[in-house]
């Protein structure tokens, strides 16, 4: 009898931001394949006999290749086990969840998608930066920083610079100079506000704000690195007034139990 695969979004870092449904499946799983950016506190909710498999990836270094992860999902499910693929943020936002779902479909393995809160919305929110605002931003885009060095993606910068109010960049710290340069070359003012939120939603969150023309120097001085979300647009100006998380860490709530 075939089991089932659950592609679960763990949220942006704070373990209490996982969905109720995601938590329920996590507690019932026979096998949990989890990523590097998944808060390890979530694994405390696993069954005592659940098998935990680390699938973490670092920049330029993959602990487990995607093809191997796909193979394990199918392998465990074919044994009749319920498998949770626990992914940071949302499975379908730069998380390769679609590739894993395709593998399940190809092998006739039942699967379910449990969305999660993505860092592109949560990290800015915890820094007091809304991705939309009635007067400042009526549109936003999620992009990956890797495209900053991709020549085939160069044509996209003109559209991003001229047609989108707020840009949220994942995995972009190492490409920050290229991101700023591309946006300014295609029409964004050097004074356009930009912020980097490091370890968003966690107690050691750090935010650095500036403009396209000076953010690189500010980031160097701060020592900020990955994982960080980059937010570009006029909404960043609201950070100084709405920075609710900076002065008082959110109180710890009781753990969620099923």
**Strand 82-87 to 4-9 pairing:** parallel
CA distances in angstroms from 173 to 107, 163, 169, 196, 229, listed in the order given: 37, 23, 9, 8, 8
| Catalytic annotation present for 78 | no
138 part of the active site = no
Name the 3-class secondary structure at 106: helix
Q: Name the catalytic one among 35, 87, 188, 229.
A: 35
Name the residue with tokens 């820094």: 127
Residues 4, 57, 237, 246: which is the catalytic one? 57
From residue 130, how far is each of 18, 79, 121, 185, 227 by CA, in Å? 20, 45, 8, 26, 19
Q: List residues bridging with 167 in a β-sheet.
A: 141, 232
Tokens standing for 248? 């008082």
Question: Catalytic residue among 23, 30, 90, 171, which?
Answer: 171
For residue 138, give every residue at least 6 positions away whose Cβ sits within 8 Å of its Cβ, in sequence order, or none: 132, 165
CA dihedral 248, 249, 253, 257 (to 10 degrees): 160
CA distance 106 to 8: 19
The rounded Cα 89 to chain-centroid distance in angstroms is 4
Three-state SS sequence of 133-144: ECCCECCEEEEE
Catalytic residues: 35, 57, 171
């Amino acid at each position: 009898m075939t089991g089932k695969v659950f592609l679960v979004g763990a949220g942006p870092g704070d373990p209490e931001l996982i969905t109720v449904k995601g938590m329920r499946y996590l507690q019932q799983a026979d096998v949990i394949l989890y990523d590097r950016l998944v808060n390890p506190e979530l694994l405390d909710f696993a069954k005592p006999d659940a098998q935990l498999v680390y699938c973490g990836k670092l920049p330029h270094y993959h602990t487990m290749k995607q093809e191997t992860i796909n193979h394990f999902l199918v392998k465990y499910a074919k044994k009749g086990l319920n498998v949770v693929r626990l992914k940071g943020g949302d499975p379908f936002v730069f998380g390769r969840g679609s590739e894993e779902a395709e593998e399940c479909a190809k092998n006739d393995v039942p699967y379910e998608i449990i969305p999660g809160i993505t860092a592109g919305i949560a990290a800015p929110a915890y820094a007091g930066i809304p991705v939309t605002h009635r007067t400042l931003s009526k549109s936003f885009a999620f992009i990956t920083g890797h495209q900053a060095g991709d020549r085939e993606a160069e044509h996209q910068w003109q559209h991003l610079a001229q047609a989108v109010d707020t840009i949220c960049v994942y995995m972009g710290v190492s490409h920050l100079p290229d991101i700023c340069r591309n946006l300014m070359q295609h029409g964004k003012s050097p004074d356009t506000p930009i912020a980097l939120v490091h370890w968003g939603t966690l107690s050691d969150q750090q935010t650095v704000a500036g403009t396209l023309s000076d953010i690189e120097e500010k980031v160097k001085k701060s020592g900020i690195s990955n994982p960080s979300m980059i937010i570009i647009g006029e909404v960043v100006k609201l950070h100084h007034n709405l920075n609710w998380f900076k002065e008082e860490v959110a109180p710890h709530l009781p753990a969620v139990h099923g």
